[in-house]
Structure 1
Amino acid sequence: METNNQNLKFFIVDDDRFCASVYEQYLKNHNYEDITYFSNGEECLDELHQKPDIIFLDHNMEDMNGFEVLKKIKRYDPNIYVIMVSAQENIDTAVNALKYGAFDYLVKDANVCEKMTETIQKILQIKEEMSGNQLKGFRKFFSILF
């Protein structure tokens, strides 16, 4: 079962290099090693073949807004967990982020890094449950087919 941190691959997409390096350092302090930084959505989309598990995606970027990037990530692979991070505490933005397939919506505030690790823990729990249920799921699927 993939519960250890090292197996998770992160993308951080934020045109604010300072914010991104704070997140990166925080994740590294929590023993997450595989982290790639992108300063814009386009670069991130070009690298989705690297199969990230979790993408921290800034909502408000110059080149392409976070929603556009989010929709394209989800179209490419609906199983990638995308966590939208925004400077604005805006309920509409949060609702839309979830509607377009974000796993969570975090506001950039003093606790944003703690919230990131909490969200990662939730994702790890889901992944663990899914890997436990996968065999049952496959059996069910095949019994329908045959």
Structure 2
Amino acid sequence: METNNKNLKFFIVDDDRFCATVYEQYLKNNHYEDISSFSSGEECLDELYQKPDIIFLDHNMEDLNGFEVLKKIKRYDPNIYVIMVSAQENIDTAVNALKYGAFDYIVKDANVCEKMTETIEKILKIKEEMSQNQRKGFRKFFSVLF
């Protein structure tokens, strides 16, 4: 799985520079290289053409709230994995995040970085299974043809 790490492109969207820097440093320490940070939802949306794989999106931001940004990201490309990050452990927020297409919802607490790692590992597993299924699908398709 190690080789997949290098190819993942991350966006970190948080208007708290300190948090964004902590996440970015943590990801770099875990050998992820391709990381862009944005301090607003608007900045993130303007850069979606860069095709990020995973976006860590702060729920509570000044300009656009996290849900608005999440909906726009999913409209732009439903295949981007968006993880909503929130300072509050609020069940309604979590449910809405998932309803609007977030892959996961994590709370900013002492374990936030470990939770980021767990979520990335889940996504890598899914991506791996999807690519295996695609290969199987192609094989099945060609065996029907020939």
* TM-score, scaled relative to structure 2: 0.92
What amino acid is the match of 1:86? S
Partner SS, residue 84 of structure 1: strand
| 1:47 aligns to 2:47 (yes or no) | yes
| 1:124 aligns to 2:124 (yes or no) | yes
**Which shows bigger deviation, 131-140 or 76-85?**
131-140
The offset of 1:136, in angstroms, is 3.7
Q: Structure 1 residues 138 and 79 mapped into 2: Cα distance closer, same or farther (>3 Å)?
A: farther
The offset of 1:140, in angstroms, is 7.3
| 1:114 aligns to 2:114 (yes or no) | yes
**Which shows bigger deviation, 1-10 or 102-111?**
1-10
| 1:74 aligns to 2:74 (yes or no) | yes
Would you identify which runs of 4 or more consecutive aligned residues in structure 1 move more than 3 Å? 135-142
Partner SS, residue 83 of structure 1: strand
The offset of 1:134, in angstroms, is 1.2
Equivalent residue, structure 2, for 1:25? 25
What amino acid is the match of 1:123? I
Q: Structure 1 residues 39 and 141 mapped into 2: Cα distance closer, same or farther (>3 Å)?
A: farther
Equivalent residue, structure 1, for 2:93? 93
What amino acid is the match of 1:33? E
Q: Structure 1 residues 95 and 141 mapped into 2: Cα distance closer, same or farther (>3 Å)?
A: farther
The offset of 1:137, in angstroms, is 4.1
Partner SS, residue 10 of structure 2: strand
CA RMSD of aligned residues (A): 1.9
Partner SS, residue 4 of structure 1: helix
* TM-score, scaled relative to structure 1: 0.92
The offset of 1:139, in angstroms, is 6.9
Provide the C-alpha distance between the structure 1 equivalents of 2:12 and 2:134, rounded to a whole number of angstroms: 29
1:28-54 per-position Cα deviation (integer Å, ceiling 9, x unaligned):
000001000000000100100000000
Identity of aligned residues (%): 90
Provide the C-alpha distance between the structure 2 equivalents of 1:137 and 1:53, rounded to a whole number of angstroms: 23
1:46-99 per-position Cα deviation (integer Å, ceiling 9, x unaligned):
100000000000000000000000000000000000000000000000000000
The offset of 1:4, in angstroms, is 2.3
What amino acid is the match of 2:104? D
Partner SS, residue 35 of structure 1: strand
1:89-113 per-position Cα deviation (integer Å, ceiling 9, x unaligned):
0000000000000000000000000
Aligned residues: 143
